[in-house]
Amino acid sequence: MPQMVQTGGNMSLRVLCLFDGPVPPNERPIWVHLDEKAQADEVDYLWVTPLDRYRKWGKLLHYYPAYILLGVRALQHCRRNQYDVILSWEAKNAFGLAMLRSALHIAHPPHIALCFNFKGVAEHFLGFSRFVMRGIDYATVVVPSEPSLYAQKLGIPPDKISFIPLGWHDLFGSSEEVGGNGDAPTDRYVLASGRSYRDYDTFFRAVAGLDGRFIAHVRRFNTEGLQPPPNVTISEYTSGPETVLSLIRHAYFVVVPLYYVEHAAGEGHILQAMCAGKAIVATQTPSTEYYIEHNKTGLLVKAGDPRDMRTAIEWMLHQPEAVSEMSANARRRYEEHFTAQIYWRKQYELIKQVAATAKSKHR
């Protein structure tokens, strides 16, 4: 946590936020989850909607350039406005601005990367990434082991990074309105979804020949070179988020098949499933170990092991009462630990502290 500085109970903030877009003119992401006092803050939003059609090196030409331009726009806004703090959602939105701040030796206002993650192409340019990190003053992460991981890889001091469990806004209503998995699936399906670090090869091999209906909601690149078995229907990410939300709502349970990675991966879909009151089968990683309680809200399986995943899925298909109990537990765990209100109130306390510390040094 940042060094403690008296913030003052009524201090309002002038904030610039960098987001994945779009952000409608009358909406206030983050602040919609905060209390009345926080509504006095003045907040500007910059956003970008890059193409996300390619993986790995394809992103260099079709994905990351948009975030560099976002950084240029952010610098222009900072020259016209006196901000107390800049917030970037995830490393991708922070990258362009951080690179420019580091190159130009800009230290004010403080720049916080929320839900920071270090992955993908950036891992191949470790020295350059360390240089870019000079343009980020504080980072929050969503996996307990990430602070030590990034301290080792990127040299981030322990007092410049914090673990704050991810939260998700409630898209499905109260606990009485979600779930409903008491009966064995007849016309229902099992859903596997997500794009980043997804291991659909293991999922396809796990469910091949099983007596059940399965849907994989994917980007086209997720299944290149793979042959889905006949009992799997492919649904592509070609429409808005309402498609995946509808698929989650009507699923019997949800599968999150992941490659083993040490950094964050899959939390968004896990929390969406928990919010909807769905039991989950997921690959065991440092992240899923935290968000899923094995045998209570779902089942964790070995990475790259189709037999282990098949055993878990098959058990779920034949244990409707256990699935119903896990689903209710998942919704309860979401309500107690992972709501958007819980998440953003924790983030906001840290944001105020970082801003106050920077202001006291900048006087």
Is the same domain home to 111 and 158? yes
- The pLDDT assigned to 3 comes to 54
- The pLDDT assigned to 54 comes to 55
Is the same domain home to 202 and 331? yes
Is the same domain home to 161 and 196? no
Per run of 10 residues, the mean pLDDT along the chain (length 363 residues) is 54 93 87 95 90 57 80 95 96 93 95 93 86 96 96 92 95 61 63 94 97 93 93 84 87 97 95 97 98 98 98 97 97 97 97 92 67
In a domain, 355, yes or no: yes
Is the same domain home to 248 and 283? yes
- The pLDDT assigned to 299 comes to 98
Is the same domain home to 326 and 223? yes
In a domain, 173, yes or no: no
Is the same domain home to 123 and 150? yes
CB of 140 within 8 A of CB of 347? yes
Domain that holds residue 279: 189-337
Is the same domain home to 142 and 199? no
Take residue 329 and report the two structure tokens written for it. Answer: 């537990």
Q: Which of 210, 166, 157, 177 is nearest to 317 (CA)?
A: 210
In a domain, 212, yes or no: yes
Take residue 296 and report the two structure tokens written for it. Answer: 């209570």
- Tell me how far the alpha carbon of residue 29 is from its chain's centroid: 15
What pTM does this model have? 0.88
Is the same domain home to 197 and 158? no
- The pLDDT assigned to 291 comes to 98
Count: domains in the chain: 2
In a domain, 261, yes or no: yes
Is the same domain home to 49 and 111? yes
In a domain, 183, yes or no: no
- The pLDDT assigned to 20 comes to 84
- The pLDDT assigned to 178 comes to 59
Is the same domain home to 65 and 86? yes
DSSP secondary structure string, 88-106?
A: EEHHHHHHHHHHHHHHHT-
Question: Max alpha carbon distance in the chain (Å)?
Answer: 68
How many CA within 13 A on the CB side of residue 182? 2
- The pLDDT assigned to 23 comes to 87
Is the same domain home to 356 and 333? no
In a domain, 315, yes or no: yes
In a domain, 184, yes or no: no
For 219-328, strand residue ranges (E) read 232-236, 251-256, 280-283, 298-301
CATH label of the domain that carries residue 142: 3.40.50.2000
In a domain, 321, yes or no: yes
Is the same domain home to 329 and 345? no
